[in-house]
A and B are shown apart, each in its own frame.
Chain A
Amino acid sequence: MSEKRIDDVTGTETTGHNWDGIEELNNPLPRWWLWTFYATVLFAVIYTIFFPAWPLVSGATQGVLGWSTRGEVARDIAQIDEGQQQYREGLLSVDVHMIRDNEELQNYAVQAGAALFRNNCSQCHGSGAAGAIGYPNLLDDDWLWGGRIEDIAHTIRHGIRNEEDPDARFSQMPAFGEMLTEGEIAGLARHVQSLPDGADPLSGPAGQLFADNCATCHGDDAQGDPEIGAPDLTDAIWLYGSDLASLEDTISRGPYGVMPPWGERLGEANVRALAAYVHQLGGGEAGEPRSETNVEEQIGEGDVPEGAGRTGGDPSDPDEVPFPEEASGTD
């Protein structure tokens, strides 16, 4: 079983191991191999002294160098942050609509904006920015509050119809379910549905209803007004759906979509990066801001245009505004 002998062919001693007649020759290993093995053992010992190694009940030994992969990552992030500082400063130092003229800055803004969008915006607007019922599609050429980059930056900075930011864009469509009869609403819905096909907004009985209730905000031409976030009713884009049931529901309940303000949370540089990103998604409008005052001049809380609702009732109390999911009519 374990009998050493000299192999006839090679003249080498066998180890005595025998597997079904196959024997192992006892050729010595090279000595440097042994020293290499000792060197690796020594290396391992030294390594465990200097680097985190031995697992303990909670965590592991730290190693005298205090090195850690997490620390390494933190250093890398800090280094990248430092490298990006010039771009963030650059974003703050130019007018928002000038970002595009600086290729390097625009590139940074779009890359950073894309990352910010995925983290902060995609929950509502979708990872492809295509939106959903009640959440605007940011890829198309239709903008409730304006599609110039300054408009977009303002919307991101202050949000829409939120209570946290006094500069939030604000407007409110009344819930006409309390003011009009079901029949009137159904007629109005059919009328509104026909507007994109070129129907005269003010003709017919439903046109009269439109003139009395809707035209104040949406305009006599029903093309809306980005100053007050009133949607264009003649285009092909319907935030809350274009079938009759959705339109009746929208008219009855009065949508109240809310977007939180991001200015404080993200900081101005990131807001600008996001604006640059959203602006180049395919729908951004070119041009200078309308004017400084116009951009800042927003319709205040409860500042519902006069004549909204046939009864001319009081504007809703902003403290009693419904939650967006109730108001949006996504269902």
Chain B
Amino acid sequence: MATNSDSLYAARAPIFPKRVSGPFRRLKWQIMAVTLGIYYFVPWIRWDRGPDLPDQAVLVDMAGRRFYFFWIEIWPHEFYFVAGLLVMAGLGLFLFTAALGRVWCGYTCPQTVWTDLFILVERWVEGDRNARMRLDKAPWSARKWRLRLTKWTIWLLISVATGGAWVFYFTDAPTLARDLVTLNAHPAAWSAIALLTATTFTFGGFMREQICIYACPWPRIQGAMMDEDTLTVAYREWRGEPRGKGLRRRAVTEAAETTTRAAGPQIGGRSPAIPMPGMPTGVGGPIPDNAPGDCIDCNACVNVCPMGIDIRDGQQMACITCALCIDACDEVMGKIGRPRGLIDYIALADAPAEREGRAPRSVWRHVLRPRNIVYFALWGGIGLALVFALFIRPDIELTVAPVRNPTFVTLSDGAVRNAYDVRLRNKHGEPRDFTLGVTTSSDLSLSVEGVAGTSVEVPADAQALTRVYVTAPAGAEAAGGDTTDLRIWIMDDISGERASAPTTFNGRGTR
């Protein structure tokens, strides 16, 4: 990044992340398995909803305007559930970013997950970091072509599967799969697969960190949402510096030990710290200025970084906090007999205390601060409200739109009639007969256009629009008066469920 070049444009410097192992790497493998598993297999889960409804557990039915999620079915007028989920997603990002920094970027962002998968393939085909760097520099030989083509082919297969899985969420998966195999699928399916294949292949294989640094707005937003209590991946430079290795390090170490030995039972100028996973490790004791830090400048943290940065440079926009450098450094610390956590999840607020040798505040003090609690309360409150709303949803509904052009009609016997467009919703998986009725203080009667009685059949899982007439006989108060309140009822003939909606009746007095 910090090149001092006159050129306005820089070519992407390829990054060859080295294989690493450790608790964070293990966690990332697990998250990758779960997220990719969900993505690829969820469309294939079946869920019996009866003969008239799709049996796909998760289905976004654009044409039918329904969203199916296991036992939940969302109609267009219930889109507030989706809006609520989006608000929860937003608040969830606030919460996680305030508490744990860019944990979304580092662990669960699709760009990170797929890049990780692509790097796995790359490592499997071409070897680890050094072998890949050699291959990259080597001239194009038969071997290089073979390895590159193998890698690209596997990438492409993953990309096709990725694009292919996406379209299955929008239509019946087995049917579409058959159509794809027999080349009968809708052009929209093909173009969606093509687009997602191309983006997956390019973003996961070649763009990688460029997407995070240049295309994604999240790194910028994140800077404004983190604060000094946010736990984020950082380097304990007060413990690591001055870094050094080899002969110089040994010389400095020996010199330092002779000067500090008299000071007390300290090892290497420091009290032994108790390593605890996920906790900033306390270090104590004054350090002689010339004593070497724990960083042996082995570059392990840089070599494993998928973003190609050096975490020891401090907080930076390109860091997605994937924590692989923590694993890499902990391994090295273990080898040289130093406590883990030279690179670790640290709240920057603790830096002054740690620098002076005092213990940092506990993780929970950082996480359970008012800001996070407010985020969590909002997040949980909306979640509970959505769950509550989900359970009180009725299976039959109606909306009443009074026809106001004209406001009323005089019939030949002098009666006054109002018309209402009534939308009847039947959320049952089978057709139901709804009987309509009216309750009011006045003498009003109800009839339905085109139907002899007051019963209307509404198809399964559908909305029916029906015109309802409410008539006041010639001498009635409602006929001559201004407006009369009334309530239109529907009753499901089978289940006996009822629903109603209030509306008004216009008499001649409203003219």
Contacts and interface: CB of A to CB of B under 8 A. Distances in A.
Nearest to B469: A282
B457 to A, nearest CB: 11
Given A10-B2, A12-B2, A30-B9, 20 more contacts: A12-B3, A27-B1, A28-B3, A28-B10, A30-B10, A30-B214, A34-B9, A127-B405, A130-B409, A137-B409, A139-B409, A140-B411, A141-B412, A236-B412, A236-B414, A280-B450, A280-B467, A282-B449, A282-B467, A282-B469
Nearest to B202: A32
17 contacts: A12-B4, A27-B3, A28-B3, A28-B7, A28-B9, A30-B10, A30-B214, A100-B450, A128-B405, A140-B411, A141-B412, A142-B412, A232-B412, A237-B412, A282-B409, A282-B449, A282-B467
A326 to B, nearest CB: 27
Nearest to A12: B2
A100 B451 CA distance: 11
Interface in B1-60: 1-5, 7-12
A34 B10 CA distance: 10
A39 to B, nearest CB: 13
Given A196-B414, A280-B450, A282-B417, A28 B8 contact: yes
Contact of A235 (B405, B412, B469): B412
Contacts of A232: 412
Interface string A85-110: 00000000000000010000000000
A13 interface: yes
Contacts of B419: 139, 282
Given A13-B4, A100-B450, A236 B410 contact: yes
Nearest to B404: A128
A89 to B, nearest CB: 24
A239 to B, nearest CB: 12
Interface residues on A, range: 20 to 34
A128 B409 CA distance: 11
A41 interface: no
A33 B210 CA distance: 10
Nearest to A29: B9
Nearest to A35: B9
Contacts of B3: 12, 27-28
A187 B405 CA distance: 36
B474 interface: yes
B405 A141 contact: no
Interface residues of B, number: 30
A6 B450 CA distance: 84
A232 B210 CA distance: 83
A137 B419 CA distance: 14
A11 B5 CA distance: 12
A266 B367 CA distance: 74
A33 B214 contact: yes
Interface of B: 1-5, 7-12, 207, 210, 214, 403, 405-406, 409-414, 417, 419, 449-450, 467, 469, 474
B9 A33 contact: yes
Interface of A: 6, 10-13, 27-34, 100, 126-128, 130, 137, 139-142, 196, 232, 235-237, 280, 282
B4 A28 contact: no
A3 to B, nearest CB: 16
Contact of B413 (A27, A130, A235): A235
B401 to A, nearest CB: 14
A30 B9 CA distance: 5
Nearest to B414: A236
A237 B411 CA distance: 7
A72 B413 CA distance: 53
Contacts of A140: 409-412, 417
A183 B419 CA distance: 42
Among A29, A127, A139, A142, the one with the most B-chain Cβ atoms within 10 Å of its Cβ is A139
A27 B213 CA distance: 13
Contacts of B413: 235-236
Contacts of A280: 449-450, 467
A32 B12 contact: yes
B8 A29 contact: yes
A31 B11 contact: yes
A87 B417 CA distance: 33
A29 to B, nearest CB: 5
B410 A237 contact: yes
Contacts of A127: 405
A145 to B, nearest CB: 15
A237 B412 CA distance: 6
Contact of A29 (B10, B207, B403, B469): B10
Q: Which 6 A-B pairs have the closest CB atoms?
A: A128-B405, A235-B412, A130-B406, A236-B414, A28-B10, A142-B412
B9 A31 contact: yes
For B4, B409, B417, which residue has the most chain A Cβ atoms within 10 angstroms?
A: B409
Nearest to B409: A139
A6 B10 CA distance: 18
Nearest to A236: B414
A106 to B, nearest CB: 8
Contacts of A236: 410-414, 474
Contacts of A235: 412-414
A219 B5 CA distance: 105
A33 B474 CA distance: 77
Nearest to A100: B450
Contacts of A237: 410-412
A232 B412 CA distance: 9
B2 A128 contact: no
Contacts of A282: 409, 417, 419, 449, 467, 469
B210 A30 contact: yes
Contact of B406 (A33, A139, A196): A139
A141 B450 CA distance: 14
Nearest to B206: A32
A220 B86 CA distance: 73
